[in-house]
Structure 1
Amino acid sequence: MTTTRPFELDPRLKADTLAITKLGLCELRLMNDRRWPWLLLVPQRAGVSEFFDLTPLDQTMLSFEVGLVAKPFKALTGCDKLNIATIGNVVSQFHCHIVARSDGDPNWPRPVWGFGSVEPYETEAAKAFIDDISRVVMPV
Protein backbone atom coordinates (compact mmCIF):
# COMPACT_ATOMS: atom_id res chain seq x y z
CA MET A 1 0.00 0.00 0.00
CA THR A 2 1.39 3.39 -0.96
CA THR A 3 1.03 6.31 1.36
CA THR A 4 1.43 9.87 0.32
CA ARG A 5 2.91 12.49 2.56
CA PRO A 6 0.63 15.36 3.43
CA PHE A 7 1.58 18.82 2.24
CA GLU A 8 3.59 20.83 4.75
CA LEU A 9 4.76 24.37 4.19
CA ASP A 10 8.53 24.72 4.36
CA PRO A 11 9.47 26.18 7.78
CA ARG A 12 11.40 29.07 6.21
CA LEU A 13 8.45 30.04 3.98
CA LYS A 14 6.20 29.82 7.02
CA ALA A 15 8.54 32.07 9.04
CA ASP A 16 9.07 34.65 6.27
CA THR A 17 5.47 34.99 5.06
CA LEU A 18 1.95 35.65 6.27
CA ALA A 19 -1.04 33.54 5.22
CA ILE A 20 -3.64 35.19 3.00
CA THR A 21 -5.87 32.39 1.68
CA LYS A 22 -5.92 29.02 0.00
CA LEU A 23 -6.75 28.91 -3.69
CA GLY A 24 -7.59 25.72 -5.57
CA LEU A 25 -3.97 24.51 -5.81
CA CYS A 26 -1.86 27.05 -3.96
CA GLU A 27 -1.54 28.73 -0.63
CA LEU A 28 -1.37 32.48 -1.25
CA ARG A 29 1.03 34.19 1.14
CA LEU A 30 2.44 37.69 1.69
CA MET A 31 6.20 38.06 2.10
CA ASN A 32 6.66 39.84 5.42
CA ASP A 33 8.81 42.63 3.98
CA ARG A 34 7.09 45.99 3.52
CA ARG A 35 9.75 47.30 1.12
CA TRP A 36 7.96 45.57 -1.77
CA PRO A 37 4.44 44.23 -2.18
CA TRP A 38 5.43 40.58 -2.59
CA LEU A 39 3.23 37.51 -2.83
CA LEU A 40 4.02 33.81 -2.96
CA LEU A 41 1.93 31.02 -4.40
CA VAL A 42 2.87 27.64 -2.94
CA PRO A 43 1.28 24.58 -4.54
CA GLN A 44 -0.16 22.37 -1.82
CA ARG A 45 1.68 19.29 -3.02
CA ALA A 46 4.26 17.33 -1.03
CA GLY A 47 7.70 16.70 -2.47
CA VAL A 48 7.53 19.25 -5.29
CA SER A 49 10.73 21.21 -5.91
CA GLU A 50 10.49 21.91 -9.65
CA PHE A 51 7.70 23.05 -11.98
CA PHE A 52 7.95 19.76 -13.88
CA ASP A 53 7.33 17.83 -10.63
CA LEU A 54 3.74 19.10 -10.81
CA THR A 55 1.28 17.08 -12.86
CA PRO A 56 0.26 18.65 -16.17
CA LEU A 57 -3.09 19.56 -14.61
CA ASP A 58 -1.37 21.20 -11.63
CA GLN A 59 0.94 23.10 -14.01
CA THR A 60 -2.14 24.45 -15.77
CA MET A 61 -3.82 25.29 -12.47
CA LEU A 62 -0.70 27.13 -11.26
CA SER A 63 -0.66 29.21 -14.42
CA PHE A 64 -4.34 30.01 -13.94
CA GLU A 65 -3.82 31.00 -10.30
CA VAL A 66 -0.82 33.22 -11.15
CA GLY A 67 -3.07 35.09 -13.60
CA LEU A 68 -5.94 35.15 -11.10
CA VAL A 69 -3.69 36.83 -8.53
CA ALA A 70 -1.31 38.91 -10.67
CA LYS A 71 -3.75 41.11 -12.59
CA PRO A 72 -5.70 42.44 -9.58
CA PHE A 73 -2.49 42.62 -7.50
CA LYS A 74 -0.91 44.89 -10.12
CA ALA A 75 -4.03 47.08 -10.15
CA LEU A 76 -4.12 47.18 -6.33
CA THR A 77 -0.47 48.18 -5.96
CA GLY A 78 -0.30 50.50 -8.97
CA CYS A 79 3.16 49.13 -9.70
CA ASP A 80 5.06 49.63 -12.94
CA LYS A 81 6.00 45.96 -13.37
CA LEU A 82 5.34 42.59 -11.79
CA ASN A 83 8.29 40.23 -11.40
CA ILE A 84 7.04 36.64 -11.49
CA ALA A 85 9.66 34.00 -10.70
CA THR A 86 10.18 30.48 -9.41
CA ILE A 87 13.79 30.71 -8.30
CA GLY A 88 13.87 28.47 -5.21
CA ASN A 89 17.62 28.47 -4.59
CA VAL A 90 17.27 28.98 -0.83
CA VAL A 91 13.99 27.11 -0.25
CA SER A 92 13.70 24.06 -2.49
CA GLN A 93 9.94 23.64 -1.96
CA PHE A 94 8.40 24.85 -5.22
CA HIS A 95 6.87 28.31 -4.90
CA CYS A 96 6.16 31.22 -7.21
CA HIS A 97 7.03 34.82 -6.35
CA ILE A 98 4.95 37.76 -7.57
CA VAL A 99 6.74 40.99 -6.68
CA ALA A 100 5.28 44.43 -7.45
CA ARG A 101 8.05 46.78 -8.58
CA SER A 102 7.98 50.51 -9.24
CA ASP A 103 10.53 52.98 -10.50
CA GLY A 104 12.18 54.40 -7.41
CA ASP A 105 11.52 51.48 -5.05
CA PRO A 106 14.49 50.12 -3.07
CA ASN A 107 17.06 48.64 -5.48
CA TRP A 108 15.07 49.51 -8.66
CA PRO A 109 15.58 48.12 -11.28
CA ARG A 110 17.81 45.43 -9.80
CA PRO A 111 16.39 42.25 -8.16
CA VAL A 112 14.86 42.28 -4.68
CA TRP A 113 16.63 39.08 -3.60
CA GLY A 114 19.48 39.59 -1.17
CA PHE A 115 19.13 43.37 -1.07
CA GLY A 116 19.32 45.13 2.30
CA SER A 117 17.50 43.99 5.41
CA VAL A 118 13.94 42.79 5.71
CA GLU A 119 11.49 45.38 7.06
CA PRO A 120 8.55 43.44 8.52
CA TYR A 121 5.04 44.87 8.36
CA GLU A 122 3.49 46.23 11.50
CA THR A 123 0.64 43.92 12.52
CA GLU A 124 -2.21 46.28 11.58
CA ALA A 125 -0.61 47.27 8.27
CA ALA A 126 -0.15 43.60 7.35
CA LYS A 127 -3.76 42.80 8.25
CA ALA A 128 -5.07 45.73 6.19
CA PHE A 129 -2.93 44.78 3.16
CA ILE A 130 -3.97 41.12 3.43
CA ASP A 131 -7.62 42.21 3.57
CA ASP A 132 -7.11 44.38 0.45
CA ILE A 133 -5.42 41.52 -1.42
CA SER A 134 -8.16 39.08 -0.41
CA ARG A 135 -10.82 41.52 -1.55
CA VAL A 136 -9.37 41.99 -5.04
CA VAL A 137 -8.23 38.39 -5.61
CA MET A 138 -11.30 36.64 -4.22
CA PRO A 139 -14.15 39.14 -4.61
CA VAL A 140 -17.42 38.02 -3.04
Structure 2
Amino acid sequence: MSFELHPQLEKDSIHVGNFDLSELRIINDANYPWFLLIPKVADVQELHHLNDAQYAQLSQESRRLSQAMQRCFSPDKMNIASLGNMVEQLHVHHIARFKTDISWPNPVWGYAPAKSLSPAVIAQHSADICRHLNDAETFIK
Protein backbone atom coordinates (compact mmCIF):
# COMPACT_ATOMS: atom_id res chain seq x y z
CA MET A 1 0.00 0.00 0.00
CA SER A 2 1.33 3.45 -0.85
CA PHE A 3 1.41 6.57 1.30
CA GLU A 4 -1.74 8.69 1.26
CA LEU A 5 -2.17 11.92 3.19
CA HIS A 6 -5.07 11.80 5.65
CA PRO A 7 -7.92 14.05 4.41
CA GLN A 8 -8.01 16.02 7.68
CA LEU A 9 -4.30 16.84 7.44
CA GLU A 10 -4.79 17.89 3.84
CA LYS A 11 -7.74 20.10 4.84
CA ASP A 12 -5.94 21.77 7.77
CA SER A 13 -2.56 22.39 6.15
CA ILE A 14 -0.71 23.48 3.01
CA HIS A 15 2.17 21.66 1.34
CA VAL A 16 5.52 23.44 1.72
CA GLY A 17 8.10 20.88 0.58
CA ASN A 18 9.61 17.47 1.16
CA PHE A 19 12.45 15.90 3.06
CA ASP A 20 13.76 12.44 2.19
CA LEU A 21 11.24 10.85 4.56
CA SER A 22 8.63 13.47 5.38
CA GLU A 23 6.30 15.92 3.76
CA LEU A 24 6.48 19.40 5.29
CA ARG A 25 3.18 21.26 5.66
CA ILE A 26 2.12 24.50 7.33
CA ILE A 27 -1.00 24.47 9.50
CA ASN A 28 -3.57 27.04 8.38
CA ASP A 29 -3.79 28.87 11.72
CA ALA A 30 -2.60 32.47 12.08
CA ASN A 31 -2.48 32.16 15.88
CA TYR A 32 0.89 30.37 15.75
CA PRO A 33 3.75 29.53 13.37
CA TRP A 34 2.87 25.83 13.08
CA PHE A 35 4.33 23.19 10.79
CA LEU A 36 3.86 19.44 10.40
CA LEU A 37 6.22 16.67 9.40
CA ILE A 38 4.34 13.71 7.98
CA PRO A 39 6.44 10.63 7.21
CA LYS A 40 5.58 9.34 3.74
CA VAL A 41 5.23 5.78 4.98
CA ALA A 42 1.99 3.87 4.50
CA ASP A 43 -0.05 2.73 7.50
CA VAL A 44 2.16 4.23 10.21
CA GLN A 45 0.43 5.55 13.31
CA GLU A 46 3.15 5.69 15.95
CA LEU A 47 6.81 6.67 16.09
CA HIS A 48 7.74 3.17 17.21
CA HIS A 49 6.14 1.76 14.03
CA LEU A 50 8.96 3.30 11.99
CA ASN A 51 12.03 1.17 11.37
CA ASP A 52 15.32 2.32 12.89
CA ALA A 53 16.48 4.18 9.77
CA GLN A 54 13.12 5.94 9.35
CA TYR A 55 13.05 6.91 13.03
CA ALA A 56 16.56 8.36 12.80
CA GLN A 57 15.66 10.23 9.60
CA LEU A 58 12.49 11.69 11.14
CA SER A 59 14.48 12.80 14.19
CA GLN A 60 16.99 14.53 11.93
CA GLU A 61 14.25 16.23 9.90
CA SER A 62 12.47 17.35 13.07
CA ARG A 63 15.69 18.82 14.43
CA ARG A 64 16.38 20.69 11.19
CA LEU A 65 12.82 22.05 11.07
CA SER A 66 13.02 23.13 14.72
CA GLN A 67 16.32 24.92 14.09
CA ALA A 68 14.86 26.67 11.03
CA MET A 69 11.77 27.73 12.98
CA GLN A 70 13.95 29.05 15.80
CA ARG A 71 15.91 31.19 13.33
CA CYS A 72 12.78 32.37 11.50
CA PHE A 73 10.47 33.17 14.40
CA SER A 74 12.66 33.45 17.56
CA PRO A 75 10.00 31.82 19.76
CA ASP A 76 10.11 31.63 23.53
CA LYS A 77 9.50 27.87 23.27
CA MET A 78 9.30 25.22 20.55
CA ASN A 79 6.50 22.69 21.10
CA ILE A 80 7.00 19.40 19.29
CA ALA A 81 4.36 16.69 19.61
CA SER A 82 2.97 13.60 17.97
CA LEU A 83 -0.49 13.07 19.43
CA GLY A 84 -2.77 11.44 16.87
CA ASN A 85 -5.90 11.47 19.00
CA MET A 86 -7.98 12.96 16.17
CA VAL A 87 -5.91 11.82 13.15
CA GLU A 88 -4.22 8.44 13.54
CA GLN A 89 -1.74 8.92 10.68
CA LEU A 90 1.69 9.69 12.13
CA HIS A 91 2.40 13.42 12.00
CA VAL A 92 4.65 15.57 14.16
CA HIS A 93 3.56 19.08 15.13
CA HIS A 94 6.19 21.83 15.40
CA ILE A 95 4.71 24.95 16.97
CA ALA A 96 6.60 28.16 17.73
CA ARG A 97 5.19 29.46 21.02
CA PHE A 98 5.43 32.93 22.46
CA LYS A 99 4.62 34.23 25.94
CA THR A 100 2.39 36.72 24.12
CA ASP A 101 0.43 34.20 22.02
CA ILE A 102 -3.30 33.74 22.50
CA SER A 103 -3.11 30.50 24.48
CA TRP A 104 0.18 30.85 26.40
CA PRO A 105 1.01 28.91 28.56
CA ASN A 106 -1.81 26.47 27.75
CA PRO A 107 -1.76 23.91 24.93
CA VAL A 108 -2.87 25.23 21.53
CA TRP A 109 -5.52 22.55 21.02
CA GLY A 110 -9.04 23.65 21.88
CA TYR A 111 -7.99 26.98 23.37
CA ALA A 112 -8.74 29.46 20.59
CA PRO A 113 -10.44 29.00 17.23
CA ALA A 114 -8.07 28.80 14.29
CA LYS A 115 -7.75 31.93 12.17
CA SER A 116 -6.92 31.31 8.52
CA LEU A 117 -3.55 32.44 7.28
CA SER A 118 -3.59 34.91 4.42
CA PRO A 119 -2.00 33.72 1.17
CA ALA A 120 0.76 36.33 1.72
CA VAL A 121 1.61 34.95 5.18
CA ILE A 122 1.57 31.37 3.91
CA ALA A 123 3.97 32.37 1.14
CA GLN A 124 6.22 34.33 3.52
CA HIS A 125 6.41 31.66 6.24
CA SER A 126 6.98 28.95 3.62
CA ALA A 127 9.70 30.96 1.90
CA ASP A 128 11.42 31.75 5.20
CA ILE A 129 11.44 28.11 6.30
CA CYS A 130 12.59 26.93 2.86
CA ARG A 131 15.42 29.46 2.85
CA HIS A 132 16.67 28.06 6.16
CA LEU A 133 16.22 24.46 5.03
CA ASN A 134 17.70 24.73 1.55
CA ASP A 135 21.22 24.24 2.88
CA ALA A 136 20.11 20.71 3.79
CA GLU A 137 20.72 18.31 0.94
CA THR A 138 17.68 16.36 2.07
CA PHE A 139 15.14 19.16 1.67
CA ILE A 140 13.40 19.59 -1.67
CA LYS A 141 10.96 22.42 -2.15
User: What's the TM-score bracket when you normalise by the shorter of the two chains?
Assistant: over 0.9
The structural deviation recorded for 1:103 is 0.6
- State the partner residue of 1:46: 42
Q: Which secondary structure state, in structure 1, belongs to the residue aligned with residue 84 of structure 2? A: coil
Aligned counterparts of 2:57 and 2:119: Cα–Cα separation in 1: 31
Are residues 1:17 and 2:13 paired? yes
- State the partner residue of 1:95: 91
Give TM-score scaled by structure 1 length.
0.94
Within 5 Å, give how 1:106-121 maps onto structure 2. 106-121=102-117
Aligned counterparts of 2:37 and 2:67: Cα–Cα separation in 1: 14
- Which runs of 4 or more aligned residues in structure 1 lie more than 2 Å from their structure 2 counterparts after TM superposition? none
- State the partner residue of 2:139: none
Which letter maps to 1:80? D
Aligned counterparts of 1:8 and 1:48: Cα–Cα separation in 2: 11
Q: Deviations over 1:31-90 (max 9, x none)?
A: 000100001000000000011111111000010100111012111101010000001100
Q: Which secondary structure state, in structure 1, belongs to the residue aligned with residue 67 of structure 2? A: helix
- State the partner residue of 1:130: 126
Higher relative contact order (CA 8 A, sep 6+): 2
Give TM-score scaled by structure 2 length.
0.93
Aligned counterparts of 1:116 and 1:60: Cα–Cα separation in 2: 34
Q: Over aligned residue pairs, what C-alpha RMSD do you find?
A: 1.0
Are residues 1:81 and 2:77 paired? yes
Query: Please, which runs of 5 or more residues in structure 2 have no aligned partner?
Result: 137-141
| Larger Rg belongs to | 1
| Paired residue total | 136
Query: Please, which runs of 5 or more residues in structure 1 have no aligned partner?
Result: none
Q: Deviations over 1:2-27 (max 9, x none)?
A: xxx11010000000001110101000
